[in-house]
Amino acid sequence: MRIWTFALLMGVMLAGSAGLAQPISQAELKALIESEGSNVAPESRTVVTVEECIIQIDVYRPYQAAPDDLWSSFRADIQGITMPVADAETGDRFRYTEDIGGAEPPIAFLFFQMQPPFLARHEQPLYRNPEPPFTPSPREGALEYVYQERTDFFVIQYDQANPRKSRRFTTALMQYRREFCLVLS
């Protein structure tokens, strides 16, 4: 009886440490990734969408007269994404900081790496002066866009009162990858 109780307690503790209730459906995980990855702050607006095993992260920032200009768009196959531990103390897959030079509100840096042979497509406006080589984007609009294939990228979540939102996003994304995107042989 004691062994069974200990095993049950350990299972509850492990499920709780992941930050997500178990079990969770694919639709619930997708919704969690989209809500916790999306972010609105005075500096920018981030929108995360998931379609099957493709994630798209669009970052909008003000530019000239446009209050909501597409600054960066990342599109990647979730199967190829890894999120390395960025904070050795907490084990988090992001870096949270409450103070950068005393002037910033708390922010979180979310780091993504692509495993070979996968690459992430990074699209951005030409006015940002990206380093060549790049390919003209088929995106239509007033601005000209280009894209590059990347092996890694990062996204910033601004105005984070605490790290819970970033933790829920990274945990849900890695769980979604494991349960719905990895090909098992």
The per-residue pLDDT for 3 is 41
Average pLDDT, the chain: 84
The per-residue pLDDT for 176 is 97
The per-residue pLDDT for 139 is 86
Measuring CA to CA, which residue among 120, 104, 122, 111 is closest to residue 159? 104
Question: pLDDT tens, 120-159?
Answer: 999 999 999 999 999 999 987 778 999 999 999 999 888 7
Beta bridge partners of 81: 114
The CA-CA-CA angle for residues 22, 18, 37, to 5°, reads 95
In sequence order, the 6+-apart residues with CB closer than 8 A to the CB of 73 are 56, 57, 58, 59, 121, 122, 123, 124
The per-residue pLDDT for 99 is 62
pLDDT over 50 (residue 5): no
Number of other CB atoms surrounding residue 30 within 10 Å: 19
